[in-house]
Structure 1
Amino acid sequence: MAIVNVSDSSFKAEVESEGTVLVDFWAPWCGPCKMIAPVLEELDKEVDALKIAKVNVDDNPESAARFGVMSIPTLIVFKDGQPVDKVVGFQSKDALKNVVTRHQ
């Protein structure tokens, strides 16, 4: 599945739906956000039935505020439209894989 960019207006349709979605709240100026991008690309190829969405917090402050994002990167796992897990800061591929597979 391809990684999708999500805005405040498309968040509900893209994320709050059936299945497991990993949402990366990030910003272009954030060093750790740049480091996690290739990890997410690898995860996208390796984990079936996982959708990955990216929300630029500078352009989409409503979504970030709604889910209490205070630091970036923040990654939130949604299961069938509900947030079920949250990690803050750079994570290894194995750590992220463990987080998302717990909710599949």
Structure 2
Amino acid sequence: MSTVDLTAQTLDDALDTEGITLIDWWASWCGPCMKFGPIYEKASEQHDDITFAKINTETEQELSTAVGISSIPTLMAFRDGVMVFQQAGALPGPALDNLIEQVRALDMVEVKQKVAEQEAAAAAGGQA
């Protein structure tokens, strides 16, 4: 599977799915982005059960700002709609493969329980 381009209009639908979605935030003027692009594309061809998406920070400036992208490339990993990884910087191929395996191995029942606990604690803290 090759990568798909996402926009502010298509991001929510892409994340509202079961499974793994990786998002590469990039720009055409960014040297590290151009170096990471072929690595990301190759991984997309090797893992057809994962959605590999790209968001161009130049054309999606408002979205990039809203999400808090301050350095590119930035890679985000979502599983079952939950962000489980975010890091700026280009990853070498073996590191990307390792990340994919770690995301696959997550116990999502446990992850969602921890997210719910954090949200409940934040809500309780806001009411004090």
TM over 0.5, shorter chain? yes
**In structure 1, distance between residues paired with 2:67 and 2:100:** 18
Offset of residue 60 of structure 1: 1.0
Partner of 1:26: 26
Give the match's secondary structure for 1:28: coil
Higher helix share: 2
CA contact (8 A) 1:11 1:63 kept: no
Q: Provide the aligned C-alpha RMSD in A.
A: 1.3
Give the match's secondary structure for 1:102: helix
Offset of residue 69 of structure 1: 1.1
Query: 1:23 corresponds to which letter in structure 2?
Result: I
Offset of residue 88 of structure 1: 1.1
Offset of residue 81 of structure 1: 1.2
Partner of 1:64: 64
**In structure 2, distance between residues paired with 1:87 and 1:42:** 19
Query: What residue ranges of structure 1 are gaps of 5+ in the alignment?
Result: none
Query: What residue ranges of structure 2 are gaps of 5+ in the alignment?
Result: 105-128
Residue 66 and residue 101 in structure 1: after superposition, are their counterparts in 2 closer, same or farther (change >3 A)? farther
Offset of residue 48 of structure 1: 4.0
Give the match's secondary structure for 2:84: strand
Per-residue CA deviations over 1:20-72 (Å, capped at 9, x if unaligned) read: 01100001111111111100111112224211000001111233233321100
Per-residue CA deviations over 1:51-104 (Å, capped at 9, x if unaligned) read: 100000111123323332110000000111121101211110110111122112
Give the match's secondary structure for 1:75: strand
